[in-house]
Amino acid sequence: MRVIRFSSPHGIRIGVWINNNVIDITEVCGSPLNSFLDLVFKASQAGKSVDEFLREVLEQRRGDLPTYSYRSIEKCEDNLRLLIPIIPPEVWGCGVTYRRSREARERETSVKGVYDLVYEAERPEIFFKATAHRCVGFGEEIGIRGDSKRSIPEAELTFILGFNQEIIGFTAGNDVSSSDIEGENPLYLPQAKIFDRCCALGPSILTVDEAGREPKLRVECRVFRSGKIAFEGSTSTAKMKRSIEELRYFLCRYNPVPPGSACLTGTGIVPPNDFSLRDGDIVEITIEKIGTLRNPVKQL
Ligand code: DO4
Ligand code: MG
């Protein structure tokens, strides 16, 4: 199933998104559900998977639960607003997991060979990407650095970790990056990756029950400038060199990543070298079954 976090005149809500309907499940279990992690916890207390738990709740209570149209939440109608689907204590990123990313980065870097090496190595590239207060949700501005000449969106399938470092769901992530800073020297990677509003997540969390552990999903990225498409590209997670489990394993090895953390799995879509995001652009990332994450760009 697909779960969203949104606000309504009643406060912050958790909803199940089915077709164009969002069913508010915040009040279905004794104490209110505050987050997707809460839902995972309540389901496990009941000895059920999240989808089993939700199916049971919907069978028993669907008629009495407030229901909204997803479009009205997306458009912020009636005091409704889509929120980041989880507040991640940590966000990590994986790199060079697609051939396209390796080739584009090898072309742009001043230090030849590092991307070729990591693409072939047993150990993947995994880097620290963001904390919750650097992340934004649907409709919020993503940042591009004022000291970068080439900022790009990176559309990435993103997994969310549960209480035991297991994957509990997937969302879409935008690993907004300053590719000229990264290209100048790979040691500048933290500055190319971590800054104000450097990561967008959303719009929903697709449960692992529905997605499976190794989902093969179409990923699309579009950038709109003055109403026209300035860049578009697509890929499929089937083209990823590494498995999701391999990335999760290396991320969590000797590393106590806290529950609710997110990990972006790398991009298979890289805009051409003469493209840079600009203030006022709109970036849309669509991942099959997860939905479309849309964010305006703000030059920092
Ligand atoms: O190697 C630098 C970052 C790579 C990355 O972010 C990606 O491949 O998505
Ligand atoms: Mg990336």
The predicted-structure confidence for 258-283, as pLDDT tens digits, reads as follows 999 999 999 999 999 999 999 999 99
Q: Would you say residue 198 has pLDDT above 90?
A: yes
Using the CB atoms, write b or e for 214-242: b if 16+ within 10 Å: ebebebbbbbbeeeeebbebebebeebbb
Closest to 140 in 3D by CA, of 76, 72, 222: 76
The verdict on the CB of residue 96 being under 6 Å from ligand 1 is yes
Q: Are 200 and 174 in contact (CB under 8 A)?
A: yes
Q: Are 143 and 152 in contact (CB under 8 A)?
A: no
Q: Quick one: average pLDDT of 188-212? A: 98
Tell the residue nearest (CA) to atom 4 of ligand 1: 95
Residue found under tokens 């639960």: 65
Q: How confident is the model at residue 245 (pLDDT cuts 50, 70, 90)?
A: very high
Q: Quick one: average pLDDT of 39-57? A: 97
Q: Are 265 and 154 in contact (CB under 8 A)?
A: no
280 Cα: distance to centroid of ligand 2 (angstroms): 22
Q: Would you say residue 63 has pLDDT above 90?
A: no
105 Cα: distance to centroid of ligand 2 (angstroms): 11
User: What are the tokens at 274?
Assistant: 């003469």
- Main-chain dihedrals φ then ψ at residue 83, nearest 5 degrees: -115, 165
Its sign, for the CA torsion 180, 184, 189, 195, is negative
Decide: pTM greater than 0.75.
yes
Domains and CATH numbers, the chain: 2-83 (no CATH), 91-299 (3.90.850.10)
224 Cα: distance to centroid of ligand 2 (angstroms): 20
Residue found under tokens 């967008």: 200
The pLDDT of residue 9 is: 95
Q: Quick one: average pLDDT of 109-131? A: 96
Closest atom, ligand 1, to C-alpha of 264? 9
The pLDDT of residue 29 is: 84
Q: Quick one: average pLDDT of 290-300? A: 98
For residues 15 and 3, what is the distance between their CA atoms, to the nearest angstrom? 6
Q: Quick one: average pLDDT of 106-113? A: 92
State the DSSP H helix or E strand holding residue 235, giving kind and residue range, or none if neither: strand 228-236
The pLDDT of residue 268 is: 98
Closest atom, ligand 1, to C-alpha of 125? 1
Q: How confident is the model at residue 62 (pLDDT cuts 50, 70, 90)?
A: confident
Q: Quick one: average pLDDT of 193-197? A: 98
Q: How far is CA 182 from CA 99, 162, 187, 189, 245, in A?
A: 18, 31, 8, 5, 27
Residue found under tokens 């992690």: 37
Q: Quick one: average pLDDT of 246-260? A: 98
Mean pLDDT for all residues in the chain: 97
Which residue among 91, 92, 94 is best mutated to probe the pocket of ligand 1, counting the most ligand atoms within 8 A of its Cβ?
94
